[in-house]
Structure 1
Amino acid sequence: MAAAHVSMPGTTDTNLAFADYSLYSNLSDDELMQLAIKRSIADAHNSGSGTENSKTPIALNRPAARRRAPPSHRPQQQPELAACPANPPRETINPQDVSSVSHFVTGYGKRIVAYRKYDGSVQVAPEPEEELEPIAKAISEGDVGSVRLLVKQPGCNLLKPNKDGWMPLHEAAYYGQDQCIKILLRAQPGIINQRTLKEQTALMIAVVREHLACVECLLENRADPDIINKERETPLYKACEKESPAMVAMLLNYGASVNKSCIQGWTALHESVCRNNVEICEMLVNAGANVSMPNMYGITPIFVAAQSGKVDALRMLLKNGADLNSQAADGATALYEACKNGHENIVEFLLSQNADANKPGKTGQLPIHIAAQRGNDSNDLLTFGCTHKNVRATNIISMLIPATSKARVRRSGISPLHLAAERNRNDILEVLIEAGFDVNATLSEGRSMMYEDRRSTALYFAVMNNNIDATTMLLKVGANPNLDTFNPLLVALRQGCIQTVTLLVEHGANVNANIPTHPTTFPASVMFCIEYLTLLKYLMDNGCDALSCFNCVYGSNPHPPIKTRHNPRYDPDEAVEKTCIQFCEVISTENFSRWAGPIIDMLLDYVGHVKLCARLIEHLDSYHEWQCVKEKAKPPRPLMQLCRLKIRQLLGINRLKKIHKLPVPPRLIKFLNHQERERDF
């Protein structure tokens, strides 16, 4: 006998451990269950978690089977060495001593009653079982002779339901006793369509239990095939759910309504299409099923077939006149849903039947958008591996490209390139680029405003994801790195990715980029790489404006205290006062002040005569090691430094990058590129 396990609301699970097995091995199942529950409730009571007034509803889908009678009381014998009695006696419960009654259902389906007394103690007992009527017992045992005799007795009431609303006819349908059904209906024909508390007729129960002979018997006796249950499901719907062509044919032959829908608008045809049962689908269509009937969400059977990848059912529906381009409540078409779920064969078939690939949903997106975004996320592809999923996704994209209007894509306000870059779909990105999609397409204003940084290009998505491969692909085919409000170079600098920064700068990214919403008197790019001196030097070598870092409105005069700046969106006063942030303010913050000396030293290599403001001098005076930097800034600057700056200005950054191809001494090239001496950064 397995150890009993009890689960109750408000208590912890209790197991009779293996060590206790010998003590309880001679208990019956009911006694063992009672003891386990009693212990559980006692533990809950001791820990302060009461069980008063807690109730668990009991859901019954079948009639109560014949149950074993509870064991009789046994003499109270205490083993001398036992920790507890082997057969604990059951106390008689006095209703006058009970303050409340709680009902429970155990994990094994046992129904239990807990009686809480006025003294606080709790007593547990099995719920009193409903005694089976003789005729119900005879039906459950298949005793046709006894049923025939019982229905003739004067005291036999065939209309009397049990507490779940089950009559003898329901019992007979449940147990598949077609002979008993005939006897009951001859005796009382009016019970044919009586329903249980769950509004199930005998016909519905027989269909669910797949008792074909009972179904036939009930229909022959004029059972109504269109009476619905609580979920508004008909017997025909349940027969389709069970995928039983024989029952479906039988119900249709007896006039079952083929277009009745359940509580969510789902018809029998929806259910059969979902299960790809073409035989039943054809039977329903021949009986007059509406192939374009929508459910409450506007989903038609053809949409269900495309969504679940059922190509055979899809062919059958189209052959019978289903609307290929019907749209659900959210505007999605069958093609859109097939792309969303990665059903390559469905997409191929729909396109071969001239499905409209330019029909947008309510979001404005086309099937190619959803394929680029979610083509290889479908659950049915999870077992095939990433490589196979990617192949399917790219195949779907390849099929959609010739059927999709690029003008319609532009009107949607978003390119599939955006979605592929956002989801790191490099393979799809490559296919779209080869197909000629505009790599500089920008999001519409409405879509761009959905992002806090107001991003607009596919390149921005790639850089934001630190996807170097995607960034490389886009830049190689002409992506402009300066179209976004917040320059992608600033994103790369913030991430500290030298490879992405190099790619962007080599393809023309603005090294002097600023942030429109947070104006500064110096390039914002400098602010993002103060902690990365290697990146800072790279920017300076490529034309970043170092001179602006030394322009201070206060000069040698005392600087006001640095204000803590708030987000203008939440600080109205700050929104009015839009003063530009100065370099000396940024470098004076706690995070950057310890880098002031090396940073100023580097910037001085890229400027001529400058005058340090009072705050920069204050920083350089704070460390003895930085005095050499202060001396370096004093005029006059060396002539060689001034000549280098002039030459760089005259040549320009683009020519400087190609200077190694000119007949110029290598030493001069190093000097112009600030490589004449090694630095430790």
Structure 2
Amino acid sequence: MSANISRSEALEDYSLYSNLNDEELLQLAIERSLTDTPYNTCDRMTSKTAYKTPPQPNSSSLNPEARARNPSRHSSQNPHANYSSHNATSAQATANYSSPNPPREELPDLKTFDGTVSHFMTGSGKRMVEYRRTDGSLVVIAPEPELEEEPLFKAIRLGDASLVKALTMDLGTNLMLPSKPGWLAIHQAAWCGQDTCLRILLSAQPGMINKRTERGESALLVAVSRDQLESVQVLLENGVDPNIPNYEKETPLYRACERNIPAMVAALLNHGAVVNSPCIWGCTALHEASGQNNVEICEMLLKAGAKHNLTNMYGISPLFNAAQSGQLAALRVLLKHGADINSQAADGATALYEAAKNGHEEIVEFLLSQNANANIPGKTGLLPLHVAAQRGSDIIVSMLISATSKTRVRRTGISPLHLAAERNHDDVVELAIEAGFNVNSQLSEERSRLYQDRRSTALYFSVINNNIHAVHMLLEAGANPNVDLFRPLLVAARQGCIQIVTLLVEHGADINASLPTHPTTFPAVYMFSMKNLPMFKFLLDHGGPALSCFNCIYGIRPHPSIKTTRTVRDLSETDSVPQQRGSVQFCEMISAAGIHRWAGPIIDVLLDYVGHVTLCSRMIYHLDSYSDWSNIKEKATPPRPLLQLCRVQILQLVGQRCLKKLPLPGGLIRFLQHQEGSVEDCLQET
């Protein structure tokens, strides 16, 4: 075969004989070798079009906030400036193949291809392109080709004005023929800021001045996006339409405000830019300027007729935008021009509400000085004071307390104390207490239902958060520990926090409180303290009844089997509670899984707080199950010691709280309080 075989012949061979097996191909090669000059297959060369990857513009300078809001917009700013778009001949380059594999089929021409083209990336990071016909059938999948930069575009990028002029005068160059993304030479010049080249192009083809890219960008919008002020002025001087938006309805003026360039804004306004044109989100140029806190641009826009009361699709006005982003200077300008300080967004939030929510202290102070209404709630019913307490902004809370009506706070069904306690903001809790907010205010029924345990007080929030300091502040301020349906004492006992249990009991927490979902014949708090014997003993020392733990309807008779179930998730994470008809008895409780192994020590502690009692058959069963517990069983056998009986009788008559007032020796008081060492020592001291 010929050593200088053409590319078309190679492709023809590949397409005609690719279905032949190895033997058939070998036979064909032998036949051809009889007529053609032999050659080494490994030296075969084939031509391949060489392309360059187009330079990607740097978008890091674009507004990050706007980029986050409109993620697709800034991706459109990457011009495919180096796609071939004119009648220039593509340079050809050769590629050496080290393997005998045939060359790849040439990809379809995008300008004439009738179908869909999809781009994707493989797992190894290789860019691929897929061509499919209109009926969905696959044409080819191949690596994405790199495109060669067209001479005219390269000359513009390099600023070679003489070459640009020569190329534009070439009859073979069609300046109105777009490249793949609709990118014309005028867009390339605007992007690169080549003003001389831009003038040459406009002189050669004035009709291209308002042409848009495939993404709807005019050359003016491209120049504004790239901060090319000189290019903007050249385009405006040559009569470009300053109001052509992209497909997201962003005009050059909108983009100039976003880029925060006053000179560019002034140039656009002087050439008739429409000032109140909204983007696809409903935002105007004034929205962008207020968010940038550029007083100069805001003043120019307002003097040009910008309306400060226009809102975007979320009901957000420029004033709201400035307050939300903490832009004090812009806020002052807008209010000076008559913006409504109490205007509300679609969700009911005001500028003051949003400033408090975002922790902008200067904005809150300024708005309050301008008589902003602090009693306008958002859609959740919360006031600015609520969101500031929720955030933990104690300075803002202190400013809003005097401006907020306590009556309006009550109508919301939730106090700032609730929100501060829920988030563990102790400084705000202290401020609210000092401001006179009711420490016993309860959540409204609607808000309480949002919690599975139906909590209602700020104290409950602090207890469930194990916030000892906040619990102490609330209790000292007069918080009632017996208001919530599920008492805070039960929560503290379940969490094993002896400090909070002590505080609650000292401030009058009811040890005998029941648990509505799991009725018991003994104090419900015992269910959560049996594994913590010091806490269990503390509760007994402070008035917890012990005799009820020995009451059993079955007595010494056999007990029925016990079925256990998990408690409500918010009440106990680890314990099981017996499920019987009626109330749960203590002997059934200590028989539950996870507790029965503590039965002996628990009964031993209880016996110190009762006189004559009879152990039921189930308690006896537990004491008999472990040999070391035999002495506990003997301890319960009557008769009980006289000292024990006297102690029980005195405690029943006097009560724990009055013991210290009795005119008795200290040793006897300690004995009555179960703090004695040995009985003999106590008697000797007495």
Please indicate, yes or no, whether the TM-score normalized by the shorter chain is above 0.5.
yes
In structure 1, what is the equivalent of residue 387 of structure 2?
A: 370
* Equivalent residue letter for 1:516: P
**Contact 1:568–1:575 (Cα < 8 Å) also in 2:** no
Structure 2: segments with no counterpart, 5+ residues: 1-48, 54-74, 85-89, 108-116, 132-139, 570-576, 680-686
In structure 2, what is the equivalent of residue 266 of structure 1?
A: 283
* Equivalent residue letter for 1:527: M
In structure 1, what is the equivalent of residue 300 of structure 2?
A: 283
Q: CA deviation at 1:219?
A: 2.1
In structure 2, what is the equivalent of residue 530 of structure 1?
A: 530
Mapped to 2, the partners of 1:348 and 1:214 lie a distance apart of 43
In structure 2, what is the equivalent of residue 142 of structure 1?
A: 159
Q: CA deviation at 1:335?
A: 1.1
* Equivalent residue letter for 1:356: N
* Equivalent residue letter for 1:127: P
Mapped to 2, the partners of 1:596 and 1:404 lie a distance apart of 55
In structure 2, what is the equivalent of residue 643 of structure 1?
A: 646
- The total of aligned residue pairs comes to 581
Q: Deviations over 1:282-338 (max 9, x none)?
A: 111111111122111111111111111111111111101111111112221111111
Are 1:129 and 2:147 counterparts? yes
* Candidates 604, 619, 623, aligned match of 2:607: 604
SS of 1:565's partner is strand
Mapped to 2, the partners of 1:530 and 1:198 lie a distance apart of 71
Mapped to 2, the partners of 1:128 and 1:670 lie a distance apart of 93
Q: CA deviation at 1:610?
A: 2.2
* Equivalent residue letter for 1:624: S
**Contact 2:389–2:428 (Cα < 8 Å) also in 1:** yes
* Equivalent residue letter for 1:340: K
1:252-651 mapped onto 2 (5 Å cutoff): 252-375=269-392, 393-565=393-565, 579-651=582-654
Q: 1:60 to 1:674 in 2, by over 3 A?
A: closer
Q: CA deviation at 1:636?
A: 3.7
Of structures 1 and 2, the one with the larger relative CO (CA 8 A, separation 6+) is 2
Q: CA deviation at 1:543?
A: 0.8
Are 1:93 and 2:96 counterparts? no
Moved over 4 A (4+): 66-74, 88-91, 101-115, 122-126, 566-569, 574-578
Mapped to 1, the partners of 2:444 and 2:305 lie a distance apart of 47
* Equivalent residue letter for 2:329: D
Q: CA deviation at 1:639?
A: 3.5
- Relative to the length of structure 2, the TM-score reads 0.78
Q: CA deviation at 1:527?
A: 1.2
Are 1:172 and 2:204 counterparts? no
SS of 1:173's partner is helix
Q: 1:594 to 1:272 in 2, by over 3 A?
A: same
Are 1:200 and 2:211 counterparts? no
Q: 1:261 to 1:598 in 2, by over 3 A?
A: same
The answer to which of 617-626 and 429-438 deviates more is: 617-626
* Equivalent residue letter for 2:657: N
Q: CA deviation at 1:510?
A: 0.8
Mapped to 2, the partners of 1:135 and 1:625 lie a distance apart of 100
**Contact 2:254–2:285 (Cα < 8 Å) also in 1:** yes
Q: CA deviation at 1:94?
A: 4.5
Q: CA deviation at 1:638?
A: 3.5
Mapped to 1, the partners of 2:125 and 2:249 lie a distance apart of 27
**Contact 1:66–1:137 (Cα < 8 Å) also in 2:** no
In structure 2, what is the equivalent of residue 82 of structure 1?
A: none
Q: CA deviation at 1:69?
A: 6.6
**Contact 1:368–1:404 (Cα < 8 Å) also in 2:** yes
Q: CA deviation at 1:563?
A: 0.8
SS of 1:357's partner is coil
Structure 1: segments with no counterpart, 5+ residues: 1-29, 35-57, 77-84, 116-121, 376-392
* Equivalent residue letter for 2:283: W
The answer to which of 218-227 and 305-314 deviates more is: 218-227
Mapped to 2, the partners of 1:289 and 1:107 lie a distance apart of 50
SS of 2:279's partner is coil
Q: Deviations over 1:154-194 (max 9, x none)?
A: 43322111111112222222222333333433443332221
Q: CA deviation at 1:253?
A: 1.3
Q: Deviations over 1:441-466 (max 9, x none)?
A: 11111111111111111111111111
Q: 1:131 to 1:600 in 2, by over 3 A?
A: closer
Q: CA deviation at 1:627?
A: 2.5
- Relative to the length of structure 1, the TM-score reads 0.79
Q: CA deviation at 1:103?
A: 5.5
RMSD of aligned Cα (Å): 3.3
Mapped to 1, the partners of 2:594 and 2:564 lie a distance apart of 14
**Contact 1:73–1:89 (Cα < 8 Å) also in 2:** no
Q: CA deviation at 1:605?
A: 1.9
Q: CA deviation at 1:109?
A: 11
Mapped to 2, the partners of 1:302 and 1:247 lie a distance apart of 23
* Equivalent residue letter for 1:557: R
Q: CA deviation at 1:128?
A: 4.8
